[in-house]
Amino acid sequence: MSHERHIVVIETLNRCAIECSHCAMACLDEEDVKMLRHCIRLDLDCAEVCRTAASLLSRASEHGEHLLKECVEICNACAEECEKHSHMEHCRRCAEECRICAEECSVII
């Protein structure tokens, strides 16, 4: 199995991971960081799961597709949390990217 088969989802996973990492760091710069703790945790978890899935898929690992189910779950959870803070641009962008990623991963699983 070649990684080219999954190039779109790999790129989507990487974009999502970048946006989630950015959102977590931007949340840390907000005035009420304590209110954003759950958002930050989900951002970091989502970024990690997406990076790992992208890495496995790019290596054509037989385990890559298995991780996509978790990506869908965590991306949707992260998007839901970020949507609660959509008045912040970084959370709005993160939620959008997470929804796109969950949709793209769902196509494969």
Number of structural domains found in the chain? 1
The whole-number average pLDDT for the span 21-35 is 97
Q: List the structure tokens of 21.
A: 């990492």
CATH code of the domain covering residue 100: 1.20.1270.360
Cα torsion at 32, 35, 98, 41 (round to 10°)?
110
pLDDT of residue 89: 98
- The reported pLDDT for the residue numbered 1 is 47
Residue 2: the pLDDT is 66
Give me the amino acid identity at 79. Answer: A
Has residue 3 got a pLDDT over 80?
Answer: no
The C-alpha angle with vertex 29 and arms to 34 and 82, in degrees rounded to 5, equals 65
Q: For 84-103, write each residue's pLDDT tens digit.
A: 999 999 999 999 999 999 99
**DSSP structural state of residue 69:** H
- Rounded average pLDDT over 62-86: 96
Q: Which domain holds residue 30?
A: 3-108
The rounded distance, in Å, linking the Cα atoms of 77 and 65 is 19
